[in-house]
Structure 1
């Protein structure tokens, strides 16, 4: 992946300086946090997308294939996929449409709920998910750009922020802390 030319100054630090200069002292730390997290997301997403490009996958399609691969039978209701991936049902429908067109999933009627549809992983979808995961592990996840201690600290901080925002509840029994 081609690197973008480094800027001579950190634009987020400059934005913080401007916020402070304009008297928005109470808002400056929050603005810095929000823009820093959003920029970090852009950087990570670019790495993920570059890794998935040879597989002709978007991150949304990869996530759905892998979610299905982690289920016992390689299938789940579309509504469950929407909830687990935390995306709108329309997004899941569009993702399933693309994966179905490429032969990686198919739809089946739910055996117990006539209103529901199951997404079913095909053998080609399972194999694609396995290959894409191996590439992501090697090219992105094993070296996300921070050392292990910093990674663990950042994940813990973000998990606390998500929990406090109502993103999830702690399950009982609780898993190992992030």
Structure 2
């Protein structure tokens, strides 16, 4: 599903053309700028799919994280680490989810300083509905066939590995192996 173009030209290509007249690393600039733009496009479509459920992608990710946890609960600090967001952001996400009654806060049973975030039945139900909405739009990646999706995954994984996003000694796993555990 293509959105109507707001420009009669590709702005990334135009920026690369102008960039190349002044600086080096035009290819890297064009790729980085393209990735940033694709992120904006994906997030826009994903947020649109979640809007009827009154969720943002950040809140959806928090709910999914809780669904994946063994007990349906995690300390707020661990949620922030796993979602890779600032403590202020996780507090905001949790506040909004609690106002929607998708989670509740509980004191940790053995650590008075820790607050647990616990997903509610309503939270589990909206997570299922949200996931179905995202699957229906293929997480806004409906323009890519399975082979291109695998190639893109591997390329982006390489960038994340080089950036230290996960341990370098983690064995390199390509698409099919990455999801078979």
Q: 1:48 aligns with which of 46, 50, 60?
A: 46
| Deviations 1:115-163 (CA, angstroms, capped at 9, x unpaired) | 1110000000000001000110111338432111111111111111111
Matches of 1:115 and 1:58, distance apart in 2: 29
Matches of 1:31 and 1:97, distance apart in 2: 38
Instruction: Tell me the residue number matched to 2:114.
Output: 116
TM-score, normalised on structure 1?
A: 0.90
Instruction: Tell me the residue number matched to 1:132.
Output: 130
> Is the 1:47–1:140 Cα contact (8 Å) retained in structure 2?
no
* 1:5 aligned counterpart, secondary structure: coil
Matches of 1:80 and 1:38, distance apart in 2: 27
Unaligned runs of 5+ in 1: none
Computed over aligned residues only, the root mean square deviation of the Cα atoms, in angstroms, reads: 2.1
* 2:104 aligned counterpart, secondary structure: strand
> How many residues are paired up?
176
| Deviations 1:3-60 (CA, angstroms, capped at 9, x unpaired) | 23353221111111111122x1x22112101110000001101110110000000111
Q: 1:28 aligns with which of 4, 26, 29?
A: 26
Alpha-carbon shift at residue 170 of structure 1 (Å) = 5.4
Matches of 2:170 and 2:12, distance apart in 1: 39
Deviates more, 1:142-151 or 1:94-103: 142-151
Unaligned runs of 5+ in 2: none
Instruction: Tell me the residue number matched to 1:84.
Output: 82
Alignment of 1:94-109 (within 5 A): 94-109=92-107
> Is the 2:102–2:120 Cα contact (8 Å) retained in structure 1?
yes
Instruction: Tell me the residue number matched to 2:14.
Output: 14
* 2:164 aligned counterpart, secondary structure: coil
Alpha-carbon shift at residue 73 of structure 1 (Å) = 1.5
